[in-house]
Each structure stands twice: as C-alpha cells, then as structure tokens.
Structure 1
Amino acid sequence: MTDLRIAPVDGDAMLQDWRYVHNAIIPTTALSLDEVRERVRRNRLAVAYLGDVLVGCSTVRPPTNDASVATVIARVLPAHRRQGFGGELFAQGLAQARKLGADLVETVVLASNVDGLRFAHAHGFVEVDRYLLPGVSVPFIDLRLA
C-alpha cells in the first residue's frame, strides 16, 4: 500500500492542482480556472498527492436523471505512472460512482494518450465511440466498463 492521499478538490490551490494535471494530460482541450470551478459544481473532482507531491487527479461525472451511467476518469502525471496510483484513483472513483447509483461506468481517453488507453483496457474497458471536438485534431475515445 502506498502513502497516496486522494482528496476531494477544496479551495483554489486544489483547483489549480487539478487543472494542472488535466491540462498536462489533455493539452488539446486545456481548461481555465473558471472552467474548473464550473466543473467542480457538477462533478466530483479529486487530486492525488504522494506526500506533498502532486501525482494525479480524477473526475467522477455522476449519473444523470435519465441514465444510470457515470463517467470515471483517472489521470496520472507521466513521471508517476506504473506505480499503482492510477489504480487507486480509479478504484476510489468507481466506488464513488457506484455510491451515486451508477449501473454502467464509462471513461474517456485522448487517443494520443497511449498509457491511458492501455490502463483503461487493462481495467476492463472496451471502446464504444471515437469523436473529435470542434477545433481539435486528436480524437477522444469513449470506453465502457465491460
């Protein structure tokens, strides 16, 4: 077991940390601090630290009223990958999604994130869709937990 600490985003410093990880891993759709503030109102955002070192972040998009599908996204900075941190972030996010009533769990990965795709497949996800956002040349891949 690691000394990884995963905490819900609370306050501007943690919003900035979450934003840093998101933007480092998804540079094609970098978010402003105001956009992250909006996301924290509708999603469950968390950051992961090893001691005082920022390691990663996660997002849980709760199920909507018309569907019992939640989205769980775990992001780990490249220097901290392959140490089990993504698995811990994912396990916590999955448990949270189930608590929120999710029957189905999806994730989304930028197609250029080879490590993220490998992680998703290793954790039982299968591809269900690929799409491009306006003005973005790298597709996103939606995957569903089989």
Structure 2
Amino acid sequence: MPVGDDVTLLDWQRVHNEIIPTAPLSVDDIRERAERNVLEVAYAGDVLIGCSTVRPPSEETAAATVIARVLPEHRRQGYGTAIYERSLARGRELSSKGIETHILATNEDGLRFAKSHGFVEVESYLLPGDTIPFIELRLEPQPD
C-alpha cells in the first residue's frame, strides 16, 4: 500500500526506525523522501508487516535502489519475498541499468535474504557520525 496518509506514513516510519535504529527518520524526512521515492507499507490483514522504498536512478548511480524491510517477528513467512518482488518490478520499470540495495551491516537476515536473491556486495560505507556501516549490494541487469 503506498504511503499516502498519516497512518501509512507513521507505519512506514515505525518499520524503518526499528530496522535501522542508527539512522532514524522524522515524519518530515519521510514526507520529503515520499516526493522523490516510492514508499509503501505492507500489512497482513490489519497487522503491519514491513515497508519498502524504491529510489529512481540518480546522478550517482544509473541503477534503481530497492529496499524491502520486514519486522523481525514476521520474517521467514514469505512476506519479504512478496515485498521484494513488488519493489523489484517497480525498480526495473525505473532502470534497465541494474538494481541495488543498501542494508545495515548488523541486519544479518537482510543480508542473507539479498544474497539469496542474487545480490552481490559492492562496498560498505558509514554515514556521518555512524559506527555501523551499510552494505551496498548490486543485482546486475538480466540479459534480454
């Protein structure tokens, strides 16, 4: 479900900030991101499961960025795959030059999930003031 009102925005924020505690986002940060990225939240009935971000290519990269997040208590139930596949399809609409993702290094489940779906580590980097790096992974374009 697209982030389109205060309820979905706050749910997206909850998932993001729980999974990435080193880089919490404010409501204003998320509103700004929603103007340039595709932000969605995922539910099983009325239960919040996760969220996703799809970033279009930028000046820094020709690849689209796809990020799928699932709350820990809902992992290994197929939700991550569903969120990822939906986001990946959107990312491929935005770029034929590849897909990348960024995962906090301490998120072992996220790294394992990305690698099991064909992503390869490209680099790690620290955000200013952080002590835990993010891992950038790349999924190369599929041949025609």
TM-score range, shorter chain: over 0.9
Which of 111, 116, 119 is the equivalent residue of 2:110?
Answer: 116
Over aligned residue pairs, what C-alpha RMSD do you find?
1.2
Residue matched to 2:42: 48
Residue matched to 1:85: 79
Q: Does residue 136 of the first structure (1) align with residue 130 of the second (2)?
A: yes
**Gaps (5+ residues) in structure 2?**
none
SS at match of 2:18: helix
1:109–1:141 Cα contact (<8 Å) kept: yes
Residue matched to 2:19: 25
State how many pairs are aligned: 140
TM-score (norm. length: structure 2): 0.93
TM-score (norm. length: structure 1): 0.92
Residue matched to 1:36: 30
Bigger mean CA deviation after superposition, 94-103 or 65-74: 65-74
Cα distance between partner residues in 2 of 1:115 and 1:32: 25
Q: What is the identity percentage for the equivalent residue pairs of Structure 1 and Structure 2?
A: 60
**Residue by residue, what CA displacement relative to the aligned partner does 1:69-111 show, whole Å, maximum 9, x if unpaired?**
1000000000000011111111001100111233200000000
Q: Match of 1:32, as an amino acid?
A: S
Q: Does residue 15 of the first structure (1) align with residue 22 of the second (2)?
A: no
